[in-house]
Structure 1
Amino acid sequence: MSDTTNDLDIRGREPRLAPWLAQPMRANRPIYLRVALAALFINLFALTTSLFTMTVYDRVLPNNATESLIALSIGMGFVIIFDIVLKLLRGYFTDFAGARVDRSIGSSVFGRLLSLRLENRKGSTGALTGLMRELETLRDFFASATIASIVDVPFALITLALIFVIGGPVVLVPICIIPLVILSGWLLQPVLDRLSAKAMKDGLGKQSVLVETIGGLETVKASGAAPMLERRWDAALQDHASVSMRQRLVSNLAVTLAQAGQMMSYIGVVIVGVSRIETGDLSMGGLLACSILAGRAVAPLTQLTQLLSRMAATRTAYAQIDRMMQAESEDNDERRLDPGAMRGELELRDVSFTYPGGAKALDGVSFRIEPGEKVAIIGRVGSGKSTIARLLLGLYAAEEGAVLVDGTEVRQFEPHALRARIGSAMQETVLFSGTVRDNITLSRPGIDDDEMLRAARLSGTHEFMAAIPNGYERLLADRGEGLSGGQRQSIAMARALAGSPPVLLLDEPTSAMDTQGEAQLLDRLEAEIADKTMVVITHRTPFLRLVDRVIVVDRGKIIADGKRDAVIARLRGPAAAQDGNITTAALQAGGKS
């Protein structure tokens, strides 16, 4: 099985109730008070059953008091009706509060996921997806199951008091059983904690394999990777099924012991009660009432044991989600600057950067791009070109040096405001499920249909969208499946151009386009970028006609930087590209010259 979940350390500090969970719970306090009030009457009504039974056996039967029985039955009928109504209300209030808590927590966690700094992201996509699914466990435990169970526990004392009033020493039986029930659940908690942690880790591993397979199903089929993934899936299934079975066995053991305690309490009350009947200290009706109440006294503790068996899994999920919530994010309490009307000056000052767990991507890189300048960054695969783009967008923070936009370090800007003023098309073209219109506009303010169509015509998207009956309302599958690579890049380019941002940051924007489509795009872009700053990362020589300056990067360092024609002349020669690409050999030649 894949080790992608190793970074998701399940064990960790003992979780506390963090604000992101505590605040929604406190906000719904009035609703929970109504739940508690309904539970009060429900438990009081439950006591009437035993009192009804005692009265019938001790008063109605000996005196053949049929009229009294009718009156008692009518009274119990009203009690049953009110009990049904109150139970429905309690369920409604509990679910209503749970839904509100679920929305609040879900919004907070999803917002933190979106603002999480990329260098703090750990685990695979599948593992993170599985982690988000655990929100349902938290919601159900804290907002539903816990409230219903805990509210009923204090009424065990009222039940014991009533047993004492009716049967005297008989109450000692449930008093002795209750600690045993609690102790059995408490002793099994360490085992449940370990199994829950292992079950969650294996579950995330299984989710990781599943998401990885579904997301790349076409590649899996084309490359023949199915046997490898089947082996991973089978291993993940086996591991998860094994630990889940052990977890269920221990949980069932705790619940079974609690139910056995409930039965022992009932039997013990009957045994002790018979001896008191013989001495005349207890009536037959009193014995029946005490036996019923004994079961009622232990029942809340049985529910509490079930709750404890679920607590281990909930605590594990909570600790992991809280660790993500506590991780450093782009959104913090510090006041950030708004870039305002951006001039488009970009600069890296002696920047070094290393990806988590990887080799150094940039080593002392420095350059400055003036407002309105058009610059191409070229280099071999893995030389650090795309890393420069990510740093300029503030997706990662430089380990050393400074990344500046308009003379200000990018970390001082509000991230969303900064990126709204930089039109970016990254190397990996990602489209979202939804319409083509949604993928271009992204619900950004100020981008209406006219602006969308303008950007679509510039990028070439309108050429193939205009001929489709539903056009821009066409629904796309995940990642734009069903479109060619060039069409996906065209939509991504339209997304970058929409809103006419003052800075364009393009990473291999035409790598999947045909020669004719690329040439037409370049013709349309010439007028569009006239007053804009543009940084393009490319291996395609045709794109170089739009730039004034070329920066060559190799192994994280700048090996050439100057006017386009001068740098290209150094790259020309026997090793230069003949197919429209800047080859590795050409770059090596350029680096040595």
Structure 2
Amino acid sequence: NSLLSAFRPWPVKVVIDRVLVRSHTHVSRVPFVRAWLDSGGFTRLEILYGACAATILIALLTGLLSYYFTHTMGVVGQDFIFALRRNLFAHMQRLSLRFHDHQRTGDLITRLTSDIQAIQDMIATGVTTFGTNSCLLIGMLVLMFWLNWQFALVSLSVAPLLFGIVFRYKRRIKVAARKARASTGLLASLAQETLASIRIVQGLAQEDQQDERFQERSEGHHQAFLEVVRYQARVGPLVDLLAAMGLAIVMWYGATRVLAGQLTTGDVVLFFAYVTNLYTPMKGVARSTYVFSKASVGAERIAEVMSIRSEVTDREGARQVSKLNGGIEFRDVSFEYEAGRPVLSHINLSIAPGEKVAIVGGTGAGKSTLVGLLPRFYDPTHGEIRIDGDDIRNYGLQSLRDQISLVLQDSLLFSGTIRENIAFGCPNASDEAIVAAAETANADEFIARLPEGYEAAVAERGSSLSGGQKQRIAIARAILRDAPILVLDEPTSGLDAAAEQTVIDALERAAAGRTTLIIAHRLTTVRLADRIIVLDRGRIVEEGTHLELLAREGRYAHFYHLQMTTEAEDTLVVTNNSPLSLA
């Protein structure tokens, strides 16, 4: 396509030299053109018609090739972007929690969207523009040197200076683009954090504070992009000035050579056309530097994430498991998020298949960290965890997690229907199994009252449902998985007494026949447990049944009496403020 475009001025040159001027001298330095025209015996009118036909033919072929080139590049580019976005998202999902603990969600989303969009823009426009202009430039240069190498050298006299300026500013633009992309990630992180917590922001009337924070980061974002704009604005006029200088030199040299009889008028017209078009692709290449710089920075940010390897991976020779019995053993397990700051120290704990164990302790005691080691969100710093007598690192990670169901304190639901949320952990479940799981979890009774039933839409993060309803859907999800191990992390936190009792009844049915680990601040859920483990500063300090631990009058008894006293005082306050007590 580009090489054909380089031949567009040739019919004009032939018309000028053969039809208008009728000069046979220096018609062309390309032997086969001169020989063919000289031996053909064509009349002026025939040459004119032939030149017109050649012009139309070149345009048709150029258009046809341009269509196929643009279409092919578009398909290849879209396929590449589709695969890149899919692979990046899949990679992000599989990185360990330690990575996500130190990353801003908004920045990761920016890499997944804006950075990939920058690469897509480069492929869609930058590569096409750069490739077309580069090929056109090469084609014209070859023909110019073939036609008259002295004239070609004169035409290119300002080219080194032009490209020197372009590449000088290209480095500056790339540095500025890198700052701009980083500021975009920080801005997106703040926006995501604020909108995800909009209830607390509005509830505490802190919109103005968030406005100020957003304004501060927006200012940095604004300045970073203004720097890019300044560099782009400088490049354009410099390139145009140098192009004008080059054209002026060609005009002077060409006119003097025609007056000296060394070139024909057609030669000069052809060179004028080439030189005029020569600087157009040069300017196109120069002005595409921002697109390439932005895409280059985006590619760096994507490669930065793709190069990170998850700390939690399958061991060599790890085997897949289908149905475990659920016997769990922690053998001298220690764990540190940061070197030298232990969160768990020398945990030794055995749990029989089907046994229900409650883990209690103060804030920061290591309860959630302990159960988080079971599905290998993290691996122990020291020691090992065994299920059914084998180190869990000898099991395939995916198959291990298939053996564990989770009900967390913040029961996250996804945008979609209630049916889809219940089946999230078991996508191929039948409608009958989904309804049965909901009935076991005490969720069917409120789902049935909804106009759309199981097809009712759930808002983002489940904001359209109450806390108790979200927990029961999460419990139904865990029941549907039918995993031998169940982890309950603060499942009744933040619920009122009625909702708590409903959820506890559902949990009791969900835990039946399963090895269950229960993390509880509210000791009302402890009654589900066969045994209670008390953690303090990452160590097991007490172990036994509810009555045994009360009789010891240790840390558990302190927790229990403190909580009972607080609840009694709350009940007394409510009673004293009720309408009956004031009557």
Counterparts of 1:173 and 1:411 in 2: how far apart (Å)?
Answer: 71
Report the Cα distance in structure 2 between the residues aligned to 1:341 and 1:515, rounded to whole angstroms.
Answer: 36
Structure 1 residue 543 displacement after superposition = 2.0
Which range moved further: 269-278 or 330-339? 330-339
What's 2:395 paired with?
413
Out of 217, 242, 249, the position equivalent to 1:261 is 242
Report the counterpart of residue 30 of structure 2 in structure 1. Answer: none
**Is it true that 1:116 corresponds to 2:95 in the alignment?**
yes
Aligned to 2:572: none
Match of 1:219 among 189, 200, 204: 200
The structure-2 alpha-carbon separation of the partners of 1:84 and 1:281, relative to structure 1 and needing over 3 Å to count, comes to same
Given candidates 529, 541, 565, the residue that maps to 2:547 is 565
- Equivalent residue for 1:127? 107
* Cα distance per residue 1:175-225 (max 9 Å; x no partner): 322222221122223322321221122111111111111111121100122
Residue 325 of structure 2 contacts residue 353 of structure 2 at CA under 8 Å; is this kept in 1? yes
Q: Return the letter of the residue paired with 1:85.
A: L
The correspondence for 1:82, drawn from 50, 61, 82, is 61
Shifted more, 62-71 versus 164-173: the winner is 62-71
Q: Give the equivalent residue in structure 1 for 2:531.
A: 549
Q: Which residue of 493, 500, 524 corresponds with 1:511?
A: 493
Structure-2 change in CA distance of 1:581 and 1:408 (3 Å)? farther
Letter in 1 for 2:337: Y
* Map 1:293-308 → 2, pairs under 5 A: 293-308=274-289
Q: 1:292 to 1:199 in 2, by over 3 A?
A: same
Higher mean displacement: 88-97 or 330-339: 330-339
Match of 2:50 among 71, 89, 111: 71
TM-aligned CA deviation for residue 582 of structure 1: 12
Among 350, 353, 366, which residue is 2:335 paired with? 353
- Within 5 Å, give how 1:133-532 maps onto structure 2: 133=113, 134-141=115-122, 145-146=126-127, 148-150=129-131, 152-329=133-310, 330-331=312-313, 334-356=316-338, 360-442=342-424, 444-532=426-514
User: C-alpha displacement at 1:293, in angstroms?
Assistant: 0.9
Q: Which moved more, 1:359-368 or 1:213-222?
A: 359-368
- What residue is the counterpart of 1:32 in the other structure? none
Q: Which moved more, 1:302-311 or 1:215-224?
A: 302-311
Contact 1:369–1:375 at 8 Å: present in 2 too?
yes
- Give the deviation of 1:445 after TM superposition: 4.9
- Give, as a single letter, the amino acid of the residue that structure 2 aligns with 1:223: L
Question: Structure 1's 582 and 375: CA in aligned 2 closer, same or farther, altered over 3 A?
Answer: farther
In the alignment, structure 1 segments of 5+ residues that lack a partner are 1-41, 584-593
Contact 1:345–1:407 under 8 Å retained in 2: yes
**Separation in structure 2 between the aligned mates of residue 77 and residue 320 of structure 1, nearest angstrom:** 47
User: Residue type matched to 2:363 in 1?
Assistant: V
Offset of residue 332 of structure 1 = 6.2
Q: CA RMSD in A?
A: 2.6
CA deviation after TM superposition for structure 1 residue 172, in Å: 1.0
After TM superposition, give the deviation of residue 86 of structure 1 in Å. Answer: 1.9
Distance in 2 (CA, whole Å) between partners of 1:148 and 1:443 is: 47
Tell me whether 1:55 sits opposite 2:14 in the alignment.
Answer: yes
CA contact (8 A) 1:458 1:494 kept: yes
Cα shift readout 1:295-345 (whole Å, capped 9, x = no counterpart) = 333443333323433333333222222121121224568443223221111
Give the Å deviation of 1:503. Answer: 0.8
- Partners in 2 of 1:97 and 1:356 — Cα distance? 44
Change (3 A) 1:456 1:359: farther
Q: What is the CA distance between 1:353 and its match in structure 2?
A: 2.2
Shift of the 140–568 alpha-carbon distance from structure 1 to 2, 3 Å rule, reads farther
Shift in Å at residue 105 of structure 1?
A: 0.9
Separation in 1, partners of 2:568, 2:106: 36
Q: Deviations over 1:254-300 (max 9, x none)?
A: 34433433333322211110110011111222111101112333443
Look up the match of 1:21. Answer: none
The structural deviation recorded for 1:580 is 8.9
Task: Report the TM-score when normalising by structure 2.
Answer: 0.87
1-structure distance, mates of 2:515, 2:550:
21
Indicate the larger mover: 183-192 or 216-225: 183-192
* Structure 2 partner of 1:20: none
- Residue 11 of structure 1 corresponds to none
Residues 375-425 of structure 1: CA distance to partner in whole angstroms, max 9, x if unpaired? 001111222111112111211122222222223333332222212111111
Aligned to 1:561, the other structure's residue is in SS state strand
- Give yes or no for contact 1:163–1:294 (8 Å, CA) kept in 2: no
Report if the CA contact (8 A) 2:315-2:394 is conserved: no
8 Å contact kept, 1:98–1:144 = no
Q: Which residue of 2 aligns with 1:17?
A: none
Aligned partner of 1:31 in structure 2 is none
Retained in 2: the 8 A contact 1:352–1:362? yes
How big is the shift at 1:533? 0.5
Structure 1 Cα separation of the partners of residues 428 and 134 of structure 2: 57
Distance 1:539 1:180, change over 3 A: same
Counterpart CA distance in 2 for 1:256 and 1:349 is 71
The change in CA–CA distance for 1:394 and 1:561 in structure 2 (over 3 A counts) is same
C-alpha distance in structure 2 between counterparts of 1:484 and 1:261, whole Å? 68
Q: Percent identity?
A: 27
Higher mean alpha-carbon deviation, 432-441 vs 521-530, is at: 521-530
Q: State how far apart, in whole Å, the 1-side matches of 2:549 and 2:564 are.
A: 17
Q: Is the 8 A contact 2:180 2:221 kept in 1?
A: yes
Is the 2:201–2:207 contact (alpha carbons within 8 Å) kept by the matching residues of 1? yes
What letter matches 2:48 in structure 1? L
Query: C-alpha distance in 1, partners of 2:453/2:548?
Result: 45
Query: Which residue of the partner structure matches residue 577 of structure 1?
Result: 563
Equivalenced residue count is 542
Give the conservation status (yes or no) of the 8 Å contact 2:440–2:509. Answer: no
User: Partners of 2:378 and 2:466 in 1: how far apart?
Assistant: 30
Of stretches 307-316 and 485-494 in structure 1, the one that deviates more from structure 2 is 307-316
Task: Give the one of 510, 517, 525 matched to 1:535.
Answer: 517
What letter is aligned with 1:88? Answer: Y
SS in 2 for 1:442: coil
CA distance in 1, matches of 2:110, 2:401: 29
Moved over 6 A (4+): 579-583
Distance 2:200 2:430 in 1: 37
Alignment partners' CA distance in 2, 1:347 and 1:320: 41
Change (3 A) 1:295 1:334: farther
> Deviations for 1:462-488, whole angstroms, at most 9, x for unmatched residues?
111111121111122211111111111
Question: Unmatched 5+ residue regions in structure 2?
Answer: 23-42, 570-583
The Cα shift of 1:154 comes to: 4.4
1:17-48 per-position Cα deviation (integer Å, ceiling 9, x unaligned): xxxxxxxxxxxxxxxxxxxxxxxxx1232123
CA 1:514–1:580 in 2, change beyond 3 Å: closer, same or farther?
Answer: farther
After superposition, the Cα gap between the structure-2 partners of 1:128 and 1:230, relative to the gap in structure 1 and judged at 3 Å, is same
Within 1, Cα distance between the matches of 2:340 and 2:368? 15
SS state at 1:424 partner: strand
The residue number in structure 2 matching 1:30 is none
Residues 531-559 of structure 1, C-alpha deviation per residue, up to 9 Å, x if partnerless? Answer: 21011111233322221100011222211
Which residue type is aligned with residue 362 of structure 2?
A: R
Q: Aligned-pair distance for 1:356?
A: 5.0
Which sits farther off after the overlay, 91-100 or 362-371? 362-371
Contact kept, 8 Å, 2:438 with 2:476, in 1: the verdict is yes
Quote the offset at 1:143 in angstroms: 6.7
- Mapped contact 2:407–2:487 kept (Cα < 8 A): yes
CA shift digits 1:33-68 (9 cap, x unpaired):
xxxxxxxxx123212321122122222223694453
Q: What's the CA shift for 1:167? A: 3.9
